[in-house]
């Protein structure tokens, strides 16, 4: 039995304040103790024994961090109270009015804490379940990561990790090579009798490698999990049914998911590798980072993937390629085709000059061979366009244009255009003069288009 287990066993009604008084006497706690702590006592313990080390490490190793703190008048206590990750993470710019976050003091049930808000609408209070919630606006600021972009500073806030004894239960992770991250992995977090995580957690800057999740874990406001700037390598999910897991700016290497049903997971600016076997995944969101696990007999459904306005790997096309293959393997060909187009769009964006033109031509002509309907539309457009050209000079394609009506002239012009496009050959129409040039151009376009159409139809399965 650990310290927290003993405290709850001796007094199941122990309050958060009483719990804090006891745990602040101990510099280290067992992994199970950390999971058993409610969020508020957990954060208070970290403010005394863990957060100061992390902040000092960031100050000493991250370019311009002290300058950023000074510019926006941050002190260590504010970073710890408002969550370090909330103050340093990128603000995803899609749909955002500006790149500013807002620091708000929130008071509820006599307890005040700082929160970082994405936007602020001048709200000062609202009625909570147990009294009024009071909001006091402190100031706006640009996050450290976005500030580094503005200043053109190097930002390796969470890429500079040292890992020891990887893929073992004893794995240790060091931030900047000198600050050991708090370890909370290697176990299965406790659940209550209702199958809800006994203590849900919002975790940041923690080593959760080797975490084990299984069975049905029901969602509740107090039983969900969020990981921010965490190492969640070797996460094992076996026969798991769970909603709403969030990974933000995390390392999630060698994830092992088997026989599971997982809904509404979100990976933001996170690196994900590993294996997903015999599982169904619904409504996942992949925003930036990189997502390249291998799918084996698994069904990814309604995946939203984007790299724009996000921090992503240079070879993010591998994410689209992995999801293309996963959908293609289970026969979901239309979705697989969409991911193939997104993969090639990503590659096209990096091209320049004439290569950019050729890639754009490939895109808009037939969407890299994934969309034969575009060739059909182009065919109709080409035939009509050249038919109109022929109609303006009927004497150059028809023998006696004056003896037929306008509608007959148009019909013959379209017939001439169709015959030319499909390289059928002529009998009663014969281009003359400059029309021979137009007819030659259309015949070349037609021959190429017919070939591309055949190729496109063989590539697409539905």
**H-helix or E-strand containing 237?**
strand 236-243
Average pLDDT, the chain: 87
The range of the structural domain enclosing residue 132 comes to 3-151
Of 286, 315, 349, the one marking the end of a domain is 349
Looking at the fold, whether 28 and 116 belong to one and the same domain comes out as: yes
Name the least confident of 258-272, 289-303, 405-419: 405-419
Selection from 70-79, 112-121, 146-155, 376-385 with the highest mean pLDDT = 70-79
Of 128, 151, 174, the one marking the end of a domain is 151
Establish if 429 belongs to a structural domain: yes
Give the whole-angstrom CA distance, residue 158 versus residue 176.
8
Looking at the fold, whether 44 and 74 belong to one and the same domain comes out as: yes
- Residue 194 confidence (pLDDT): 55
Query: Over 80: is that where the pLDDT of 412 sits?
Result: no
Looking at the fold, whether 336 and 394 belong to one and the same domain comes out as: no
Helix spans in 299-429 (H): 317-329, 333-349, 353-366, 372-392, 406-421
The mean per-residue pLDDT over the stretch 33-48 comes to: 94
Query: Over 80: is that where the pLDDT of 129 sits?
Result: no
Domain count for the chain: 3
For residue 277, the Cα-to-chain-centroid distance in whole angstroms is 21
Helix spans in 367-434 (H): 372-392, 406-421
How does residue 193 score in pLDDT terms, banded at 50, 70 and 90? low
Percent of the chain with pLDDT over 70: 91
Establish if 360 belongs to a structural domain: no
Selection from 188-202, 251-265, 448-462 with the highest mean pLDDT = 251-265
Contact by Cβ (8 Å): 223, 243: no
Query: Over 70: is that where the pLDDT of 264 sits?
Result: yes
Query: Over 90: is that where the pLDDT of 103 sits?
Result: yes
Establish if 452 belongs to a structural domain: yes
CATH number, position 384: 1.10.287.70
Helix, strand or coil, per DSSP, at residue 155: coil
Residue 344 has a CB neighbour count (10 Å cut-off) of 21
The mean per-residue pLDDT over the stretch 231-260 comes to: 92
Establish if 165 belongs to a structural domain: yes
pLDDT, one tens digit per residue, over 331-363 is: 999 899 999 999 999 999 999 999 999 988 888
Contact by Cβ (8 Å): 318, 294: no
pLDDT, one tens digit per residue, over 318-330 is: 999 999 999 999 9
The mean per-residue pLDDT over the stretch 367-389 comes to: 85
Helix, strand or coil, per DSSP, at residue 436: helix
Give the whole-angstrom CA distance, residue 140 versus residue 122.
12
Residue 371 has a CB neighbour count (10 Å cut-off) of 19
- Residue 167 confidence (pLDDT): 72
């Amino acid at each position: 039995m650990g310290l927290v287990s003993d405290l709850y066993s001796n007094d199941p009604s122990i309050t958060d304040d009483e719990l804090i008084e006891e745990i602040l006497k101990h510099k280290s706690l067992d992994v199970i103790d950390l999971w058993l702590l409610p969020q508020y006592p957990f954060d208070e313990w970290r403010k005394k024994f863990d957060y100061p080390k992390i902040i000092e490490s960031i100050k000493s190793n991250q370019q311009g961090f002290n300058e950023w703190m000074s510019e926006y008048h941050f002190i260590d206590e504010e970073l710890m109270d408002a969550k370090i990750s909330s103050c340093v993470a990128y603000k995803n710019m899609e749909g955002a009015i500006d790149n500013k976050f807002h620091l708000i003091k929130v008071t509820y049930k006599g307890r005040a804490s700082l929160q970082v808000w994405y936007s602020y609408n001048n709200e000062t209070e609202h009625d909570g379940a147990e009294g009024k919630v009071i909001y006091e606006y402190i100031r706006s600021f640009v996050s450290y990561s976005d500030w580094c972009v503005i200043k053109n500073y190097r930002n390796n806030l969470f890429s500079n990790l040292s890992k020891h004894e990887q893929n073992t239960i004893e794995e240790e992770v060091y931030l900047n090579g000198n600050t050991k991250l708090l370890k909370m992995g290697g176990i299965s977090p406790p659940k209550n009798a209702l199958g809800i995580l006994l203590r849900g957690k919002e975790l940041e800057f923690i080593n959760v490698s080797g975490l084990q999740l299984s069975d049905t874990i029901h969602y509740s406001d107090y039983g969900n999990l969020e990981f921010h700037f965490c190492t969640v390598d070797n996460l094992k999910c076996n026969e798991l049914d769970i909603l709403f897991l969030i990974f933000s700016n995390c390392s999630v290497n060698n994830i092992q998911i088997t026989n599971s049903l997982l809904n509404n997971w979100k990976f933001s600016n996170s690196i994900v590798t590993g294996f997903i076997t015999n599982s169904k995944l619904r409504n996942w969101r992949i925003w930036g980072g990189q997502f390249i696990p291998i799918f084996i007999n698994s069904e990814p459904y309604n995946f939203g993937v984007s790299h724009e306005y996000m921090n992503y790997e240079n070879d993010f096309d591998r994410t689209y390629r992995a999801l293309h293959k996963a959908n293609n393997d289970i026969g979901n060909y239309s979705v697989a085709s969409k991911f193939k187009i997104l993969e090639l769009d990503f590659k096209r964006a990096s091209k320049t000059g004439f290569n950019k033109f050729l890639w754009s031509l490939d895109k808009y002509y037939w969407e890299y061979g994934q969309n034969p309907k575009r060739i059909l539309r182009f065919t109709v457009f080409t035939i009509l366009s050249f038919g109109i050209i022929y109609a303006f000079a009927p004497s150059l394609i028809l023998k006696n244009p004056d003896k037929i009506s306008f509608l007959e002239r148009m019909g013959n012009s379209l017939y001439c255009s169709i015959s030319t496009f499909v390289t059928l050959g002529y009998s009663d129409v014969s281009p003359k003069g400059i029309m021979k040039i137009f007819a030659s151009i259309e015949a070349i376009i037609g021959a190429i288009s017919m070939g591309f159409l055949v190729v496109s139809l063989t590539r697409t399965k539905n």
